[in-house]
Every structure is written in C-alpha cells, then in structure tokens.
Amino acid sequence: MADIDTTLLAVVGGFWAATNIVFSTSKISNERRDIVITGRLDGVDISPSHRRLIIWSDWVPMTITNAVICVFFGIFLVVLPNIYSLTISGWGVFVCYLFAIIPFLGAFVFAIGGLGEYQTMVNAITISRPSAQIVTHSGSE
C-alpha cells in the first residue's frame, strides 16, 4: 500500500509542478506574442527588428521549452509504473497513463498552436508601419 501512496503523491506533485511551470511560461510567452503582434512595448512603438528579436530570443525558446516540458513529463508518467514496479492491473498504472495524456496533448497543442502564432507574428511584422520609434532611455522625448 505504501508504494501506491508514494506513487500517487509523486504523480500529483509532479503534475502540479509541471502544470505550474507550463502555465507561467505560457503567460510570459503570450505577453511576448502580443508585443510582437501589436508592435508596442509599454505604450511605445517598437521597430520590426526589435519585434523579430523578441520572437527569436524570447517567444521561440519559451514555446519550445513548454512543449519539451510537456513531453518529458508525459514520458515520466508513462515510465513511473516501471520505476515503482507497479502491476499492470493496479489503479496506479491507470492513473499514470491517464495523466500522461494531458502533457502529450499539451505538447501537441504547443507545437501546432506555436506554428500558427509564429505565422501570425511574422505577418504582423510584414504589414507593420516601418516608422516605428526607437526607444532610448536618454531622458529626452
């Protein structure tokens, strides 16, 4: 019985941790996407090159990281029954496999949704005004 309790605790704790990470990075990634699409950061227009920089240095790494975290956690849930030597008829195995569906679907959604978001951001940059201001912090406006 202790193995089942430990397994359940590991699954719930890991699921909470992975979900927290994914939601936090998703929020930041969505904020970066919105900046690129609108072309505005803190109420000031930003240049297309700055928007491309945000895509490649912020948005792409965060989106890929989200998908990878989902895949790794899904794999962890699939192999967890083998780590604890649970029997295939045990409910712990069923719970692990059932929970594994969620991160695998999440990785798929991040991959497919990411492609669509990337295309939307590139299109927004392409049709943007070329006269965006360059923000300097020299104190003059």
> What is the reported pLDDT for 141?
46
pLDDT tens for 40-87 read 999 899 999 999 999 999 999 999 989 998 899 889 888 877 776 655
Domain count for the chain: 1
Span 14-29, average pLDDT: 85
| DSSP classification of residue 40 | E
Q: How far is CA 33 from CA 14, 75, 132, in A?
A: 28, 29, 17
Within a domain: 141: no
Q: Show the domain range for 58.
A: 2-126
Cβ atoms of 117 and 32 within 8 Å: the answer is no
| 133 within some domain | no
DSSP 80-99: HHHHTT--TTSHHHHHHHHH
> What is the reported pTM?
0.74
What is d(CA 58, CA 78) in angstroms, rounded to the nearest whole number? 30
Is residue 139 one of the residues assigned to a domain? no
Question: Is residue 50 a part of any domain in this protein?
Answer: yes
For residue 136, is it within any domain?
no
- 118 in a domain, yes or no? yes
The answer to whether residue 116 sits within a structural domain is yes
Average pLDDT, the chain: 81
